[in-house]
Structure 1
Amino acid sequence: MPSFNSDGTDIAYLDEGEGEPILLIHGFASNKDVNWVHTGWVDLLVKAGRRVVAIDNRGHGHSGKIHDPEAYGAPIMAEDARRLLDHLGIREADVMGYSMGARITAFLALNHPDRVRRAIFGGLGYGMVTGVGDPEPIAQALEAVSIEEVSDPVGRSFRKFADQTKSDRLSLAACMRSSRQKISQEDVARISVPVLVAVGTRDEISGSAQKLADLMQNARVLDIPRRDHMLAVGDKVYKEGVLEFLGETE
């Protein structure tokens, strides 16, 4: 498993295929394999002639585990992504993030606009601006000794997912408490690269995809029919829409 040092934290990644690069950034409590390999995304994009790079965000997957909330935050994780591009000698890439990964992608596009050619915000709409709920019940659920102690339904679902992915729960709790920085409407409006906002029609977490897209000068929406936040990521409509978007904006 290749990795590199990002300002003192070991960051794991995969790098497959040849062609125009695309960087994939996974969601909270997931990892590059669960989000992108097991769902078929890496294979699909490699077969489409792309060089596919996928990162394990700090605290996730095979990357370094840190229990201090100050070590996280979407802007900090965006710098990990930028350093990965530096490490691989990639000057500019398409970037697709899902959920927390979409927020990280937005900060990467804002802080390093010359590094992002096109962006796909999967699983996150206007919640990027308003926030997506109180992180504390989720953090407490992750810190609980047993899932049987967790009564909050949202916290319980994240705890179950973290257990399934065999994650470091204390790292995830620290990440949850600091990764949901809101982005102002004014800053979203500064994102000038082509953007695809792809959200499941049954996603009750992300917020309105259209309302987010309307803030940007060069954004469009992809509705993923009959999919919620957890199921949309591997959906066929999502995959076809992304390939179409990348092809149209060559």
Structure 2
Amino acid sequence: MNLNAPSMSHFVRGRLKLAFFDEGDPNGPPVLLIHGFASTAIANWVHPGWLKALGDAGYRVIAIDNRGHGVSDKLYDADVYHPWIMAEDAVALLDHLGISEAHVMGYSMGARVATFMAIAHPDRVRSLVLGGLGIGMVEGVGDWDPIAEALVAASLDDVTHQRGRMFRAFAEQTRSDRQALAACIQGSRDLATKEDVAKIEAPTLIAVGTKDDIAGSAQALADLMQHAEVVDIPNRDHMLAVGDKVFKTAVLEFYKRIEHR
């Protein structure tokens, strides 16, 4: 498989038109991918080589453009971006495709959405991969209001907040609707409780870059969970960890162990 962007399809949930791709081996075990904040299915999973890696390994690879992102519908009300709402979008995609259960992998905000999906719909999640988010899942990941402000500033030149500049530049690179992203960053920060995380029975792999200053400790999150293991992604920050070979190798080995149980 090559790294060319696949064509996107759409399905409707309520009044919302949501985009996704469905690639790889149609008869292989399904993997549902949920991208991070300000990213897209293509930017998060195709360009960094995940579609190729999973497709070549025989998986059916499905990825959603979260509401407010990519070519899915854009909304400007923060209250429609809670992670449990986006988790229902992901479940609706599985319903649309007639898939009863999938491996679910999310990165950063997508890891939060995947976790809420595993909490609400444990029967739909065969395994869980959480990239770019550790104990920040339950303790928070700092003040993101400056990022919302950076997204709607008149120009990148007006943004002095370092993390705000990083996400503003990324949003411009992905040609995102910055107003929708500002609403999303305000609405999607709900924390999972330690009690809910402890109830997750799905085998879980938590992968965080050793230079990631956003995610929080992967081991601290794993210690709360029933069946979680950790992989450290060496010398990678939050933005660069997603495409790392160590991460991909760990996920493929994790899936292989689950498939051969």
**Under TM normalisation by the shorter chain, which class is it?**
over 0.9
Q: CA offsets, 1:80-118, max 9 Å, x none? A: 000000000000000000000000000000000000000
Task: Give 1:63 deviation, angstroms.
Answer: 0.3
CA–CA separation in structure 1 for the residues paired with 2:167 and 2:13: 27
One of 157, 171, 176 as aligned partner of 1:162: 171
CA–CA separation in structure 1 for the residues paired with 2:174 and 2:91: 26
Q: Where does structure 1 differ by over 4 angstroms across 4 or more consecutive aligned residues?
A: none
Aligned runs of 1:111-190 on 2, under 5 Å? 111-190=120-199
Structure 1 length-normalised TM: 0.99
CA–CA separation in structure 2 for the residues paired with 1:166 and 1:133: 25
1:10 equivalent in alignment to 2:32: no
Note the aligned Cα RMSD (angstroms).
0.6
1:238 equivalent in alignment to 2:238: no
1:82 equivalent in alignment to 2:115: no
Task: Give 1:170 deviation, angstroms.
Answer: 0.2
CA–CA separation in structure 1 for the residues paired with 2:13 and 2:32: 16
Partner amino acid, structure 1, of 2:13: S
Number of residue pairs aligned between Structure 1 and Structure 2:
250
Per the alignment, in what secondary structure is the counterpart of residue 177 of structure 1? helix
Q: Any gaps of 5 or more consecutive residues in structure 1?
A: none
Structure 2 length-normalised TM: 0.95
Q: CA offsets, 1:122-148, max 9 Å, x none? A: 000000001111121000100111111
CA–CA separation in structure 2 for the residues paired with 1:135 and 1:203: 16
Q: Any gaps of 5 or more consecutive residues in structure 2?
A: 1-7
Identity %, equivalent residues:
61
Per the alignment, in what secondary structure is the counterpart of residue 49 of structure 1? coil
Partner amino acid, structure 1, of 2:197: V
Task: Give 1:210 deviation, angstroms.
Answer: 0.2
Aligned to 2:62: 53
